[in-house]
Each structure stands twice: as C-alpha cells, then as structure tokens.
Chains A and B, each alone.
Chain A
C-alpha cells in the first residue's frame, strides 16, 4: 500500500515528542510522494491517543490493543509491528531513535529482511525513483551519507528527537483502523520488573530544547553549580562531557557524546569543553551552539555559532545577570 507509517511511541499513556515530529516530517513526505500518512499505535487503552496523532498530521491511525502493550516488550512489540506490516505493506516505516525505537526497529528490520538507516537527520522522497533518501551523519558527523533501500520494503529509518519540527494541523481528523492482531501466542521470555526515573526532571537530555554542558574546564564537581545556574536561567537541562563523568563529577545520565547521549537542542551551550570528536558527535547537529572556553584554539569553536574566549567563572555569572536583567 502506498503508505508512510510512523510508529507512535507512548510511555505511560503519553506520546513521545519525537513521534509527533516524525508525523510532521511525514506530512512533507506524503506531499512529495502522494502516499498516505499513517500512525501505528500499540496500546493497552485502545485509540485514546488517536486524536493527538491526527492533530499532528496522520490521516489514518492503525490501532492494535492488548494488555501486553502496557510498555515496550521487544518480543511482543516486534512481533506486533511485523504482523501489521505484513498485513498492510507500507512503503516507509519511521521510528524515533529512542531507547525503545533503537531496539524495536533493528528487530523488525531483521525479521522483515529490509534495510534500516539509523539516526537520520534528513529524509526526502525521490519522486522519480520513488524511494526514500535517508541522510545521516557518519563518523562523528564529519561526513554525511545518503542511504537508500531500493529493493526491500518497507524502507525504515530511525530519527532522533528534535531533528524535525512538530507542527499541529488545525481541525485535522482521520480514520481509525483497528488491526486484529493477536500476539497471545508469543511466549513471554522477558518482563520489566520496575522502572525508575533519575531524580531531577532534566535527565532526559534527548528531548531538551536547551542544554548547558560542563567540561573539564569547569574545574571540579562544584563547577556544575555554575552550569546549573546558567541552565536554570535559560530554562534548560544540564549536560556533561565524558571527562567530567569519568572523574565522577556528575551522573552518567548527563553525558553528551558518542559514549553518552546524542542531542540536538535548539540551543547548546558548552562551558569549558574542548570539543573532542567524541563530544562533537553527540551535539553538533544542535541548532545554535555557544562555546565558552579559555583556549582560543579549542576545537569546540569550529562548530560554535557564537564563541567566547574567556574565563567561564567571569563570563557565566555575567550571562546569568544579563538574562535576569532582561527578564526583569
């Protein structure tokens, strides 16, 4: 079928932003291709989330519900997605590159024997060849590669949060299609015992709009006090370089970079971070990058939109003051 599917990822009854961003991108692809934009919703409470999926551009929402869909259990979700795809045969299938999507998508691609491109930063439809052009950064973002999957279907991609913008569609509506998928025959080989959120609401860097990160240059664990102050003033979350995490100054959940999290906020502020490739790989697709570092030759300045060479202990309190003055 000439359809584009977005996997509608939900946690505790709330859709993930990245799924809505994918729908917005999906609308563009639907316009380019003439395909129908659809969402695939696996849920324990039926079609409750369908109106929100329509509001972000889905024309059709496929719903499969089962008590087994309370949270993503890879065997069950994988089998359900595969059965839905085999039944409806979409051309394109998109997932958010979350801890769920990055497990589920490769499982589904393996089972369906089709191609999967991870962490795309660009998606475009080639209307002549009728294929999806999937662009992703390679090796720390220093090279971009366009990848295609011509002979297998669906064409599958994962995309990080914040890469695409989400836009509501006014007065949108659509159709709900109930899939009669029953996975009660799939054995239970794993189950989640508990889920714990790290104290502090800003640990989810992947979806943060503003991130202020500290590197070795902040001097010590107490330096994160200053980082936090600026993050608060900007309404953002706190990030960290690998060096500071390795030194035990802050929890690994805050680490940005290849060994930590890949982020792309609207604003990324790097304080005392030199900018090793492995750090750049995790943040250089951010919209606006600001760097404060006392070393004028630090590689971070090569990706920074706005660079400030100076002592962050002098500069950062001034920035906080200027922000407060503006607000007052």
Chain B
C-alpha cells in the first residue's frame, strides 16, 4: 500500500508567548516543529505500515527550504521518504492555492491508496487544506479520524469523532483522511531510521517540477486576502475578587446574577 502524509512545519505553540504590550507573538527563539496533528497522522500511517507488508509512507510538505527539517524528523520516526515543495512562486498561498499545489505534488508521486493529514495546523487552525486536496485529487474524504483499519485491499474502516461521540464509517480505497490526536502519539523511531534520516536526500520540487497553472498558485492563485490585522479588543471591567472563600463565592454569584448567568 502507498500512503502519503501531508505535514506542515509550525512554530511550537507550547513555547509561544505573547507580548501583552503589543498583543503580538514573541516569535524570536521559538522552535519550529512538525504540526502536532500531523504527527498523529504519521503514526496512523506507520501503524498501517507495521501491519501490511510492502507499505510505503511518503511525507510531503510545502514550505520554505528550512521545512526540510520537519520532513527529516518524520523520516527519523519511520517514514519511508519525503518531498519538499518549495519555491518563491508558491509564497502567499491561501488554503485553496495550497491545496492545488500540494495536490500536484501528490499526483506526481503516482497512484496512492491513502492520503493522511492532521485535523488542522496549529498556526492557522483552518482545517481546510486536507478536504481541499482530497477534492483536487478526486478522493473521498473523512475528517476527524481516530482509528483506521484496512478492510482487505479495497476499503478502510474509520472511526471518526464528532461533537458528542463517534461514528464508524467504511470508505473505499483510495481516499483521504484527516486525523485527531486520539489516533495515537507518534513513536520515537528506531536507531536505524534515525541514522537513515540523517543521510536521506530529500528532493525539493519547485515550479518547473510541478508545472502548475501560474494563475492558481501563490498569492495570485488565492481567492482570499488578509485585508486587516489587529489586536483583539481588550476586555474592560476585569476584576479580582478578594476575601474569604465564602465572601468571594458570594461576590461571584452576585456578579453572575447581575449578568443573568444564574
């Protein structure tokens, strides 16, 4: 079976702090990591690789040249190989143009059985690129998968999470899935895969390799524009309640009552 896992390099959101004076992120010195949900997607792929002989797992990412480090990290954890899609022309892409571009890269890899994504990336939180790529590739897609099991060589059984529970689905191969954290934590990787990752050649595919419609990539190919960026409105009337536990409790309930919350 041939599996592709799409990943994104993002700033480590656990280490990001906020400059309260400017309401901006302190980005300096914040390490880049593989988007945490993409790690869960990779783990799903590696479990299938363990279970089904002859399975390959190819990691694909679009980003600046330094995003190569994220792909190498995935190889160290056990992915078979990886490709970086990178080029000036792709810059400024919104989710539509990103989906179009990554779909070209996946098509170039040849027929695949399964394309996996994290449920969303922690820097943009849109959750749009996975379903977008699935459409570009003509594949059915299920979102929020927490477990994936091959049913013979024609379909998968997928458990997906919803707002208030779970659903079981059967989906034909090939297909695309976005994956939630409950799918499992990414393994550390063997010594062998770590050594191999260090030496691996990771091809970089640019404009000439993908031959995209220039009208559909980068900023030009993006239907949306960010027209304004601003700090969120500061909440007024914040207060701290002081006193004994029963005094603060009384004061809190009074305030909640005034806001008609109790």
Contacts and interface: CB of A to CB of B under 8 A. Distances in A.
Contacts of B94: 115
Contact of A267 (B123, B175, B261): B261
A146 B226 contact: yes
Contacts of B130: 106
Interface of B: 13-14, 16-18, 20, 23-25, 36-37, 94-96, 99, 122-132, 134-136, 140-144, 157, 160-172, 175, 181-182, 222-232, 235, 237-241, 245-246, 248-250, 252-253, 255-257, 259, 261-262
A198 interface: yes
A182 interface: no
A82 to B, nearest CB: 10
B130 to A, nearest CB: 8
Contacts, number: 245
B13 to A, nearest CB: 5
Contact of A258 (B122, B166, B223, B235): B122
Contacts of A301: 240
B164 A197 contact: yes
Given A190-B142, A314-B245, 9 more contacts: A99-B160, A103-B142, A106-B127, A115-B223, A138-B124, A143-B25, A194-B168, A259-B37, A288-B261
B128 A109 contact: yes
B96 A143 contact: no
Interface residues of A, number: 87
Contacts of A317: 245
B187 to A, nearest CB: 17
A98 B255 CA distance: 32
A59 interface: no
13 contacts: A106-B128, A111-B135, A116-B96, A118-B127, A139-B13, A151-B223, A194-B167, A194-B168, A197-B165, A234-B261, A278-B13, A303-B235, A326-B253
Contacts of B136: 110
Contacts of A151: 223
B168 A103 contact: no
B16 A277 contact: yes
A103 B249 contact: no
B104 to A, nearest CB: 14
A212 B125 CA distance: 24
B181 A107 contact: no
Contact of B229 (A98, A143, A303): A143
Interface in A273-309: 276-278, 281, 288, 290, 301-309
A140 interface: yes
B132 A110 contact: yes
